[in-house]
Structure 1
Amino acid sequence: MTTRDTLTPHDGTLRVLSTSDLAGIDITLADVVATVEQAYRTLAAGQSDNPRKLTVKPADGHSVSYAMLGRDGVCEVVAIKTSYKHGLDKGRAEQHYYTTLSIYDDVTGLPVAMMDCSRIGSLRTPAVSALLARECAAPDARTALVIGTGTQGRLALPFLLTTLPGLERLLLSGTHPQGIAAVRQELERHFPGRELELVTDLERAAGDADVIVATAGGHTDAAVQAGWLRPGTVAILVGHGLAPSTLHRADRVIATSEAQMRVTGTDLADGRGALPAVDVELPPVLAGVSKARTAPGQRIFAYNSGLVVTDIALGHRFAQLAAAQGLGTEVALWR
C-alpha cells in the first residue's frame, strides 16, 4: 500500500522510469488492490482531488488526447497523466498509443518521477473491476465469466480471485488464440492449478455466471442481454461485451464516477439518448458510507471508468519500489 515517504531527490533531478524499468518491478496483486482501494477511500474522505479530464480531438478524428490532473492526500503528491492515441482512422497495427505520469512532491515542491503509464493502467483497471466485484457480488457467488482476451481480460480472473477467493468456476469467452493463451498463462502464473473453461455459448455462460466482467474491444460481436442474467448477478463493464439492456434493466447501478459514465458511456444510451441514474459510486462504498448491494437477488450493473487518483497512487507505489531497487534514470531536467 502506498504511503508518504522520502522518495523525492533533493538535487532537483527527475527519476525517469521506462517501460522496461517498470516491467522489472515485482508487485503482488494484493498490493495493487490495496493501493487502489486506499486511493478511493482517500477521495471519499475529501483528502484527494480528481478534476474532470481535458480532451482534445481533431475534426477528422484521427487522434485523441487526454490530460488528467490530480492530488493524492495520503502520499501528498500532485501528478498529471497524459494519454495520446494516433491512427484511430487506421487498423490496430498502424495505431500509436503513449501515456505518461509525472509526479511531484507536494510537501517539498520537488519532482518525484516521470514514467510510462501503460503498466499502471493495465493493473489499475482489473483491480478496480475486482473491487467492484467484491462489493457487488452476491454472498454465494461461485462462477465468474470474463469476456475478452485483450490487455484487461488477461488479468481479470487473477484479480477477481484476489478479492473473491471463493470463486470456483472460471469461464472465458474469447476468439483470439493468442489472447486465450495469454489469459491461461496469467491465471497459471498467479493461481497455479486453477482450471479455465473456454465457452462458446455466451448466453448459457452468462446465465451460469454470478460475476461478469466485459473487457472486449469495440469490434466484438459479444453482447450479453439483460434477459440472460439470473437474479443476483453483477455485470461489470470495462470495455465492450454487455448490451445496453443490462444497464437499463438493472435493479441497481454503480459506477466509479457517474460524471465519467455520462461522458464515456453514451453508447449505452436508450432511444431517447438517456442513461439511467447511478444509485451509488464506488468511493463511498469502499469507505463504508454506502452499500453497493442492498438485496441478494438484485441484478447489478457496474461501470468501470478510471479515476486519475488511482493512477497516481499506483504510480507512486511503483516509484517507491523503483527507488528501492535503484531502477530508472535520474535526469537533471531543470539544471
Structure 2
Amino acid sequence: MTDSTLAADPRSIPAGDRTLRILTTSDLAGLGIALADVVATVEGACRTLAAGGSDNPRKLTVKPADGHSVAYAMLGRDGSRDVVAVKTSYKHGLDKDRGSQHYYTTLTLYDDVTGLPVAMMDCGRIGSLRTPAVSALLARECAPPGARSALVIGTGTQGRLALPFLLTTLPDLERLMLSGTHPEGIAAVRAELRAHFPDRDVELVTDLRAAAADADVLVATAGGHTTAAVGADWLRPGALSVLVGHGLAPSTLHRADRVVATSEAQMKVTGTDMADAAGGFPAVDAEFPAVLAGTATGRGTARERVFAYNSGLVVTDIALGHRFARLALDQRLGTQVALWR
C-alpha cells in the first residue's frame, strides 16, 4: 500500500464510502514507531515543502482580549502523499496553572487522489513527536561543530522527548542537562530518556545561567508561566538556542548572529512575546526547510550564536498523521462514522 492510495485501500475505506474513520487517543497510543522513523518522516515533509511540492499557509489565530484561551487552525497539502488536511488546536485556561488547563487538537486527512476522507484523529501524540523531531533536525543542521552538551528547559509534553530526539540526530552528545520545577515532569523526562537510551541519564540543574553557559544546544519548551528566561549574554559563543515554547529572553533572538525559523510568517503570529518594544522582529536569515534542502545556510561560522524558532509546520503533522493513520488502519483500529449521511 502506497501513501497516495491509503483512502482507497479496502482495509481502510472502500471506494465510494464517505464514512469517516475516527482515531482516538487510545487508538493511537499503542502504535509503535521508532524515533528515527519520525525524524525521517518529518524531514521528508520539510524537503518536499522546500521543493515546492507542498503547501503550508500561515496559521490562523483567535485569542480573547483577556488571553484566557487561544485557538489555531492550519490547512495544508502534502504533495508527496497527495493528502490535504486541516489541523485545529485549542487551549483553554492560559491564565491558570498547568493542571487546570484544557487542550484539544485534531487532524482531519483527505486523500486528494480519490477525493475521500482518510481519518480524523487526536493530534496530541503526533504533535508531541513531530515538534521535538524538528528541534532535533534543527540541532543536527545548526549546532556548533562537535557539540557535546545540551540543555532542555521545561518538563511538559514537548520537554519529555526533547533529549531522546536530540540523541537520535546528535549521538555524540555527552552532557545532558534539564531545567525544570515539576517533580512529575522531571520523572517523566528521565523515564522517556531511559526508555529510548537505557544507558543515559539527565542532570537536573538549578543554576540556569551556569547551565546555559555550558550548553552547546539549548531547547526551550517551558510553559507560559515559567520564570526561566535565558538571556543572550548567558550563551557561549557558537551556541544554538531553539525556542519551542518559553524559557528564552527576547535578547537571544534580537542579538543572535543568525536567525533560523521553520516559518518566518508563523514566528510573527505565535512568537509575539519575543518581539521588541515596537513589536518588531529581526529579519530571518533562513527558513528551515530550505536549510534541509541545502539552498539556505543554517550556520555560517563555528562561533555564531544561532537562534532557531520552531513553530511547527502543518505539513509535518500531515506526514506523521498519515503515517499513524496507515499503522492504525492496518490494525483495523478506529470507528467509522457516517458523518455525511
* TM-score scaled by length of structure 2: 0.94
Gaps of 5+ in 1: none
The alignment-based identity, stated in percent, is 77
Which residue is equivalent to 1:175? Answer: 181
Cα-to-partner distance string for 1:210-229 (whole Å, 9 max, x where unaligned): 10001111111111111121
Matched positions, count: 334
2:39 aligned residue: 33
Q: How does 1:141-290 map to 2 (within 5 A)?
A: 141-290=147-296
The one-letter amino acid paired with 1:27 is I
Matched, 1:98 2:104: yes
CA contact (8 A) 2:267 2:309 kept: yes
Shift of 1:59: 4.2
> Equivalences for 1:254-333 in 2 at 5 Å?
254-333=260-339
| Residues in 2 aligned to 1:227 and 1:59: alpha-carbon distance in whole angstroms | 34
**Alpha-carbon deviation of 1:91?**
4.0
What amino acid is the match of 2:128?
S
Shift of 1:58: 3.6
Most deviating of 13-22 and 80-89: 80-89
Distance 1:248 1:308 in 2: 26
Q: Is this contact kept in 1: 2:4–2:113, CA < 8 A? A: no
**Which secondary structure does the structure 1 equivalent of 2:155 belong to?**
coil
Deviation at 1:331, TM superposition (A): 2.0
Aligned residue type for 2:191: Q
CA distance in 2, matches of 1:5, 1:254: 35
CA shift for structure 1 position 13: 2.4
Letter in 2 for 1:252: R
Counterpart Cα distance in 2 of 1:245 and 1:109: 47
Partner of 2:121: 115
- C-alpha separation between the residues in 1 aligned to 2:73 and 2:39? 24
Selected match of 1:85 from 78, 91, 113: 91
CA offsets, 1:256-312, max 9 Å, x none?
A: 011111122221122333211110000111111112011111110111101111111
- Aligned equivalent of 1:46: 52
C-alpha deviation, 1:36, in angstroms: 0.8
Work out which of the residue numbers 134, 140, 143 in structure 2 matches 1:134: 140
Alignment equivalent of 2:71, drawn from 61, 65, 72? 65
Q: What is the distance in 2 between the residues matched to 1:174 and 1:148?
A: 5
Give distance in 1, aligned partners of 2:197 and 2:62. 41
Q: TM-score, normalised by structure 1?
A: 0.96
Contact 1:172 1:197 in 2 (8 A): yes
* Structure 2 letter corresponding to 1:222: A
Do 1:71 and 1:78's aligned partners in 2 also have CA atoms closer than 8 Å? Answer: yes
SS at match of 2:90: strand
Give secondary structure in 1 for the equivalent of 2:108: strand
Alignment RMSD (CA, Å): 1.5
Runs of 4+ that moved beyond 6 A? none
Shift in CA distance, 90/167, structure 1 to aligned 2, threshold 3 Å: closer
Work out whether residues 261 and 286 of structure 2, in 8 Å CA contact, stay in contact via their aligned partners in 1: yes
Structure 2 residue runs without a partner (length 5+): none
> 2:21 aligned to 15, 24, 33, which one?
15
Alpha carbons of 1:225 and 1:94: their partners in 2 closer, same or farther (altered >3 Å)? closer
